[in-house]
Structure 1
Amino acid sequence: MRIGIIGNGGMATALGGQWASAGHDVLVGGRDAGRAAATAARIGARSGTVREAVHHGDGAVLLAVPYGAAEELAAEHARELAGRTVLDPANAVGPGFTLATGTGPSVAERIAAAAPGAHVVKAFNLCHESVWRLRPPVFDGRPLAVPLCGDDERALATARRLVGDLGCLPLGAGPLARARLLEATAALLIGLWVGEGADAQAIAPPPDHAGPRG
């Protein structure tokens, strides 16, 4: 699969490196050509401009940028992103571990509004970049589950494949309208992990004790 990655930070390196190792054709694009080239060299990928990364990513485009830049980039490249799977791992976590987006649309929904022809999938936002570097992320014998929110089935199928390439289990979390819940969950978990030093996994009981289904 041809994957375009926009960004040069930890998420770009961690996810891009895993996908390059899995045999995907990865191109890293950024506004700083030197940083993009350095990132690509670290993970065994090619580098180019942001526009080149968008054009390259006919399989998927990963917006591995801070949440404040994601909407702007989507608007700037809306025409090229039309019809493409756009993966959004951003978290809008503000002071006090609250949502910087307030009660408004999620980051993922803002990206979708800025590039209305793109097929946005919210994914990979619940874990620090260090988790995505693990080969694979398995804890106590249990593979990590990755929730996905999106409206386009083909884009979701692409996201599920890329989650599987990390050694993780894709987990359907509903339409893109539910992406705000994923982003709020990230704010809560980060606050517990970083702010309280708590074992955030301990807040959820096993499925057999989670209550009635249906």
Structure 2
Amino acid sequence: MRIGILGRGGMADALGEQWKRAGHDVLAGSRSRGDVRAAAGHGTDAVLLAVPYAAVVEVVAGLADVLRGRVLIDCTNPVGPDFGLLTASGPAAAERIASAAPTARVVKAFNLCHESVWRLTPPVFAGRPLAVPLCGDDEDALTVVRRLVRDLGCEPLHAGGLDRSGLLEATAALLIRLWVGEGADAQAIAPPLEFAAG
């Protein structure tokens, strides 16, 4: 598979290296280098959007023509000062991205973990592979992203349509606050499955 990556930060590097290791052809681009259109361009099976949230709508809107029909994976988190959710009063980040590039097939994924987790080969904890929730409306796009999740040694979880992506973003804001702001073991908030439904 040919994967374009928009951005050259930690998430772009971590996921890109793992997908290269899995045998994919990965091309990363950034606005500062002027090669972002090539990374998003023709021949890519999927494009990872890994730029700071403040820039995502502008970047995507400027590439809407080359993103036509592309699987666009949004791993961004709209988290601001004091770990607040910047999109709390409006559409989710993934929905804003979909509006900026209406012909792209947007899937929200990979936003719940720090880049260091994606550098693990594979990310398995206490013998259990990491689960990666996905939100999207296009089944073919979800199939592509499920494969990329499995190529990391993780398990994809269907979390609903793109209208549910705000829940993933809010979950990320909560987890970041607990982990970083409080130094808490955020995993401790979820009981084992047999106790989850009462």
Shorter-chain TM-score tier? over 0.9
Runs of 4+ deviating beyond 4 Å: none
What is the distance in 2 between the residues matched to 1:131 and 1:158? 21
Query: Gapped runs of 5+ residues in structure 2?
Result: none
| Aligned 1:62-211 pairs, distance under 5 A | 62-211=48-197
Change beyond 3 A, Cα 1:56–1:129: farther
**Is 2:4–2:47's contact at 8 Å kept on the other side of the alignment?**
yes
Partner residue of 1:11?
A: 11
TM superposition score normalised by structure 2: 0.97
**Is 1:57–1:84's contact at 8 Å kept on the other side of the alignment?**
no
Partner residue of 1:38?
A: none
**Is 2:42–2:66's contact at 8 Å kept on the other side of the alignment?**
no
Using the TM superposition, give the Cα deviation of residue 57 of structure 1 relative to its aligned residue in structure 2, in angstroms: 5.5
State the AA in 1 paired with 2:26. V
State the AA in 1 paired with 2:62. E
Using the TM superposition, give the Cα deviation of residue 32 of structure 1 relative to its aligned residue in structure 2, in angstroms: 2.4
What is the distance in 2 between the residues matched to 1:24 and 1:180? 29
TM superposition score normalised by structure 1: 0.90
Cα distance per residue 1:34-92 (max 9 Å; x no partner) = xxxxxxxxxxxxxx711101115521000110011111111111111111000000001
What is the distance in 2 between the residues matched to 1:87 and 1:162? 10
Partner residue of 1:53?
A: 39
Query: Gapped runs of 5+ residues in structure 1?
Result: 34-47
What is the distance in 2 between the residues matched to 1:128 and 1:146? 13
Number of equivalences: 198
What is the distance in 2 between the residues matched to 1:11 and 1:158? 19
Name the SS for the 1:93 alignment partner: coil
State the AA in 1 paired with 2:146. R
**Is 1:7–1:64's contact at 8 Å kept on the other side of the alignment?**
yes
State the AA in 2 paired with 1:82. R
